[in-house]
Amino acid sequence: MTSRPKTIRMLTAACLLAWASLSTCASASTPITIEGAHFIRAGKPHQIISGSMDFQRIPRAYWQDRLRKARAMGLNAITTYVYWNLVEPTPGQFDFSGGNDVAAFVRMARNEGLDVIVRPGPYVCAEWEAGGFPAWLFADPHLHVRTQDPAYLQAVERYFQRLGQELSPLMAARGGPIIAVQVENEYGSYGDDRVYMEDIHQALVSAGLGTGILFTSDGADELRNDTLPGVLAVVNFGTGEAKGAFATLATFRPDQPKMAGEYWAGWFDHWGEVHAQTDAKLQAKELAWMLSQGYSLNLYMFEGGTTFGFMNGANLQGNPTDHYAPQTTSYDYDAPLDEAGRPRPKFAMFRAVIAKATGSTPPPLPSPTPFMDVPAFALPESASLWDNLPTPISVDQPRPMEQFGQAYGYILYRTHVSGAIRGQLYLGDIRDYASVYVDHKLVGTVDRRLKQVSLPVTLDAGTHSLDVLVENTGRINYGPHLADGRAGLIDPARLDGKLLHGWQVYPLPMASPDAIRGWTTQTVDGPAFHRGHFKLATLADTFLDMTAFGKGFAWVNGHNLGRIWDIGPQRSLYLPAPWLQQGDNTVVVFDLRTPEQAVVHGVRQPIWWRSDAKVSQ
């Protein structure tokens, strides 16, 4: 253990003891300042013990429950991202209602005695679609994100100004609970343009978000790339890396407080890989060490939650051996709270560590959230995708979906070709998963994960329809390829070496099941919607077992629960009780494949497995 001066040890212990009762220590609305190597609140050294919980990944009805559980684990602060693409879905049109109401979340945290650290981006990573960047940014081929590009910075400033209207009254300097705001996010792993970083810094100040602590957050090796004078630098690292990361930070910034911006006490999942399970005992040991040193920290994540809808991101590094790797809908993260907000054993371990370090007893956990099984029910109605296509847009060559004003979902490209032909259909850098049909019959798929760019096609004599149905399975959220956020077909298509012209394009954002037509109880082959109902007398959370389906997604009562993919590891979808209703509930599943038996049931635990490896949570 590194020795600290006796006076500092005594002051830190006194503040930690006082923190146990917010009535005897500074309240969550008292600003925190920096004096030398210490955070100071009400004239005393202060240790920030935070956990990450992104409010937009948790149903609003459960925010208070999760915040109370944060206090029950012993946290004194909560950290949250703000996802730009959710609050400004179209340029200049903002939505801070419902699950996007960040001000309501911050006020709720204050009511529970928690400080708040806000990470507004504009880039957030977070295994979130495009790292939080709105898809419409990528519609302009000349706009460059995370640079000094005036068009990009103008969009950022507009977003920050509007966010500031929500949050500047809640800064600690104005009596609110927000003690710190992050400048960009892990930019040091992307670039080293400090002029750009200063642009973001000043945009936050101009929006009224710079009245408290401002900070940058990077891995230990990237600290040198983007830190700013007068702005706190914190360090991010994973399990087993605490001592080395803090040693690097201490060398880099010896005369400032030491804080872990992200201590990765868990990990996320990619489609086609085994569900992540991490070393809770080692994490508890490292947590105890950090607290004993007087270091501040933020656990990433306290609760991961769920990436509902089509909002998962993907990784793609710059190395030749790396591949496109989309993340699952579940953001369980092996966190102290599971995806559904239930404490796992790690919670109790961390709670005991924090209680010992602070000399305090956290408040008790709130009552458990009820869960239920749902008996199996069929989805007897089906509707073909081919009967639910919108009016097409005619183009000579395929274009990415952003060019058609589309952000997420699927997009269909159709042309007609004359046989007989036997050759390769070249689609290029597909974004991201293409199902290819000739006369509505599946002939194969092209998967960006597998670095596929083409497939063999055989056509008989005559004229045939050629359909390329492309799913955006998640824009890249981390790495050098982040800047190219185009989805759909981005290259010209060639058949047997010849360029294909004259395409009809059908945007399919899959925003709602309400307009689906052509329902039938007959078997429908190929890409189709499947509908069924179940009735409830009482409401509780559940996980829908989706193992009957191949690749697609599911709506329940109009809420998009997220993606389905039989490659695993995720084979269930979290369904929160607030999205259910007494009486009739409607499930609609879109599946690229034809299920043998379209049956769903609800279970109390998530289902994790792969075809080649059974894994348990």
Known catalytic residues? 186, 262
The amino acid present at 511, given as its one-letter code, is A
Cβ atoms < 10 Å from Cβ of 69? 28
Residue 292 CA to residue 447 CA, distance in Å, equals 48
By DSSP bridging, strand 259-264 and strand 441-447 are unpaired
Structure tokens at 58: 């948790």
Question: 363 CB contacts (<8 Å, ≥6 apart)?
Answer: 68, 71, 72
First to last CA, the chain: 34
Distance CA 319, CA 419 (A): 40
CA-closest candidate to residue 335, choices 308, 371, 297, 299? 299
DSSP label at residue 17: H
What is the side-by-side order of every strand in the sheet holding 325-326? 325-326, 314-315, 476-478
Q: What is the distance between the alpha carbons of residues 548 and 572, in angstroms, rounded to a whole number? A: 10
Token pair 């109390």: residue: 604
Question: 3-state DSSP: the chain helix, strand, coil percent, rounded to 5?
Answer: 25, 30, 40
- The residue among 25, 271, 282, 57 whose CA lies nearest residue 263 is 282
Backbone angles phi, psi at 39, to 5 degrees: -80, 140
